[in-house]
Amino acid sequence: MMSDLVRQHFHEPCFIGILPAGPKVIRVEIDSPATSRHIIFSIEVEQSRIVQARHLVRGCPYTIATFSYLANWCYGQMLVNLTSMTRAFLIDQLSLPATKVHCAAMAEDTLRQLYLQWENT
């Protein structure tokens, strides 16, 4: 049974789209044909703060909800905070069932990758 928050983000996902490539934009893409998941998550950073976040997502309702929640959460966050977001927090916030905890794992991994990409540029 979906939590109210999952239901909300699934039916009305936030910040849909893709940021055009640029010096302040970093983008992570996850494409897993075996699981039918495909996510493109992009953020724009100014003075170490995330000023824009966008995402496109194909996946189950929990995948859609998780990344919508994530995009919403990213807004205004300091870049360094990306590494503080944990799957445990997401599982708790979204009341993810045991069969869907991988959505939170993917989200945590996405944020780590975004941070590492920024660090390496």
Partner 1 sequence: MHTTIYLDYMATTPLDSNVLEAMLPYLQELELAGNSGSTHDLGIKALKAVERAREQVSLLINAEPESIIFTSGATESLNLAIKGAAEFHQRKGKHIITTQVEHKAVLDTCQYLQQKNYEVTYLKPDSEGIITAQQVAGALRDDTILVAIMAVNNEIGTIYDIASIAACIEHHQAILVVDAAQAAGKIPLDCKAIPIDLLAISGHKLYGPKGIGALYIRRKPRVRIAAQMHGGGQEQGLRSGTLPTHQIVGLGKACELARQCLDSEPTFIATLHEQFIQAFADIPHIKINGATKARVPHNINISLQGIDAEALLAGLPRLAMSTTSACNSIVNQASYVLKAIGATDRDALSSIRISLGRYTTPAEVKIAAEQIAAEVIRLRKIAPR
User: By the criterion CB under 8 A, which residues form the site for partner 1?
Assistant: 2, 10-11, 13, 16, 18, 29, 31, 33-40, 56-61, 63-64, 98-102
Q: Are 110 and 86 in contact (CB under 8 A)?
A: no
Least distance in Å: CB of 57 to partner 1?
6
The span from the CA of 79 to the CA of 74, in Å, is: 9
Helix or strand holding residue 67 (H, E):
helix 61-74
Q: Which residue's CB is nearer to partner 1, number 16 or number 81?
A: 16
Q: Which residue's CB is nearer to partner 1, number 40 or number 94?
A: 40
Structure tokens at 75: 């807004």
